[in-house]
Structure 1
Amino acid sequence: MTTLVKPFAFVLMPFAPEFDDIYKLGIQKLAEEKGVVAERVDEQIYSETMLERIYRQIDAADFIIADLTGRNPNVFYEIGFAHARQKMCTLLTQNAEDIPFDLKHHRHLVYGGKIQRLRELLSPELDWLKEELERSRSSTFTVELKKVRAELTKTEWRADAEVELVIDIHNRTDRRTPEIEAIYLNTGKGWTYSQNGEDCASTENPTDSKMLRHFLKAPITRLSPDGWAQLALKGRRRMWSKYTGKDDVKDKYPLKGYVNLDIVTSEGTFSEKLSIETVAEEYPF
């Protein structure tokens, strides 16, 4: 008889009384309803130091749920360790301002201190995490958005947003990936992309006329077990023009949405949706 092992979510948050109901009712109880084991380190029994235990539990976890409310330095440090371990992380906060700029492109939920709102937001997130976990166990490809950096370039006549994306492709299985035949980046219209200094060819997405499909050069034909490859891309979009803009040019433009990465192989297409949230603004240097 086969025993089903439930996914394990390790929860990172401040150990303070005001977070007890948020953890017990908003996170742990909901996780239990979803067939997920969610635990904090303070309710576990262990012999090593707390920091050593946290390291071990992050390594053992299938995914991480972290509450950044109050900008607790220990939680920030532990999230950094989890990201270094390539763990799927869902970030929570009562106030969006508690999520620093360099973490805003990671998945995050703003629940405003209300447990019911937290449950409403976290419920589909747990479903997605379970699906991603199952897919990662069966697929040889794991795709992660490693870096997002945006900049605004302005002249008297126009303002353009420039976005730098770094995407990691891993094979965390013990078998080789199928041969990569093509890679496409699907974005909203108005964007142009370049790779290694060369413009990427683009055309309308055949299944969604609102999106463009940009052709990318595969950095490698296939990945060996534990193999890794990286895509470095630069996107550009006109945000304002003196001749067409009805409003005055702005000092910054929020960029929020997603891109889809399609890896076409001899055994089918692997698709990954990557959330983007950043701000294009001028840099003083």
Structure 2
Amino acid sequence: MQNNPTPPFAFVIMPFSKELDDAYRLGIKSSADECEVRAERLDEQIFSEGMLDRIYRQIDIADFIIADLSDRNANVFYELGYAHAKNKICILITKDAADIPFDLKHRRHIVYGGSISYLKSELIKNIEWAKKEAKSKEKRKILVTVKSPTGDLTTTEQTAEATITFSFDLHNKADQTSPEIFAIYLYTGNQWKVIQDTRECHFSEADIAPYKYRYLISPPSHKIGANGLSHLKVKASRTLAMAWKGDEIKDEYTVRGRGVLRLETSDGNYDHEFDFNLELTEIPF
């Protein structure tokens, strides 16, 4: 007889309130069941250690985290901070977009506004992504961490242009030198002008669906020493509005999207997907 594989484990951090019971049982638990994932929060578990120690241990062993930030619960934010410090894959959800702090808006999140059916449909897609990401992460020898992006807005009477700075840490978690990095590609859905240092990066059509473009980035180093760290920074600019095309030139824009950073190495490709969501406002000189 073959043993069934252990399903992925998602630890859920959220307020324990009646107002969020439907979101948990009909949204989170139901979605996880359909994706063959075991989702639990602390109040469902029996344990003998202290509550905080238990939370730490569950975050440590979880394949990924689902965090409901509704009502800005302080305990949830504390636990989410620990999860981020541990480089855990996190899916953020909330009833109200205002509950997501500015420095978390670039991370993958779902605003469900009280609609359990919408929460479930979006969670299923995100849980499937998290399962794939967790499986891929186990095989990676180079861990990619995305720093919070920053952005600037520049306007004239005729145009509005966004410039976003993306920063990535490349961490070799192995006790030996990393595989050789031959090339790095940044995949995007829209066309950007990507600058590394002072050089404009070459681009071509993307070979990963649904992305449209890929930009060739020079590796900061071709090998990373044992437990070493390397840093990569690029700037991407794009015109948001053109007056001669009938666009309104505004002094504030929301710029959001999703991208992939691909490392082509002697050990295969490492793909890291990331989201960004920035509110850009022009600051007068």
Shared fold by TM > 0.5? yes
Unmatched runs of 5 consecutive residues or more in structure 2: none
CA distance in 2, matches of 1:122, 1:36: 12
Higher mean C-alpha deviation, range 110-119 or range 77-86: 110-119
The superposition leaves residues 128-169 of structure 1 with CA deviations (integer Å, 9 ceiling, x where unpaired) of 111111111123233332221111123455432111111222
The superposition leaves residues 207-261 of structure 1 with CA deviations (integer Å, 9 ceiling, x where unpaired) of 489844322221221234544322112222233455x352331011211222222
Three-state SS of the structure 2 residue aligned to 1:90 is strand
Deviation, structure 1 residue 81: 1.6
Instruction: Flag as ranges the 4+ runs of structure 1 deviating above 6 A.
Output: none
CA distance in 1, matches of 2:25, 2:121: 15
CA distance in 1, matches of 2:242, 2:260: 28
Question: 1:190 touches 1:238 (CA, 8 Å); kept in 2?
Answer: no
Higher mean C-alpha deviation, range 154-163 or range 176-185: 154-163
> Match for residue 228 of structure 1?
229
Q: What amino acid is aligned across from residue 21 of structure 1 in structure 2?
A: D
CA distance in 2, matches of 1:42, 1:173: 36
CA distance in 2, matches of 1:178, 1:59: 27
Residues paired across the two proteins, number = 283
> Match for residue 97 of structure 1?
98
Deviation, structure 1 residue 175: 5.9
Unmatched runs of 5 consecutive residues or more in structure 1: none
> Match for residue 249 of structure 1?
249
> Match for residue 277 of structure 2?
277
CA distance in 2, matches of 1:174, 1:38: 33
> Match for residue 193 of structure 1?
194
Question: 1:158 touches 1:238 (CA, 8 Å); kept in 2?
Answer: yes
CA distance in 2, matches of 1:33, 1:67: 19
Identity score, percent: 43
> Are the structure 2 counterparts of residues 190 and 8 from structure 1 closer, same or farther at C-alpha, using a change threshold of 3 Å?
closer
> Match for residue 80 of structure 1?
81
> Match for residue 116 of structure 1?
117
Deviation, structure 1 residue 176: 4.7
Q: What amino acid is aligned across from residue 216 of structure 2 in structure 1?
A: F
CA distance in 1, matches of 2:188, 2:195: 13
The superposition leaves residues 75-120 of structure 1 with CA deviations (integer Å, 9 ceiling, x where unpaired) of 1221122111111000011222222222111111122223332221
> Structure 1-normalised TM-score?
0.87
CA distance in 2, matches of 1:95, 1:126: 20
Question: 1:188 touches 1:211 (CA, 8 Å); kept in 2?
Answer: yes
1:145-160 aligned within 5 A: 145-156=146-157, 158-160=159-161
Question: 2:10 touches 2:39 (CA, 8 Å); kept in 1?
Answer: yes
> Are the structure 2 counterparts of residues 116 and 206 from structure 1 closer, same or farther at C-alpha, using a change threshold of 3 Å?
closer
Higher mean C-alpha deviation, range 27-36 or range 257-266: 27-36
Query: In angstroms, what is the RMSD of aligned CA positions?
Result: 2.6
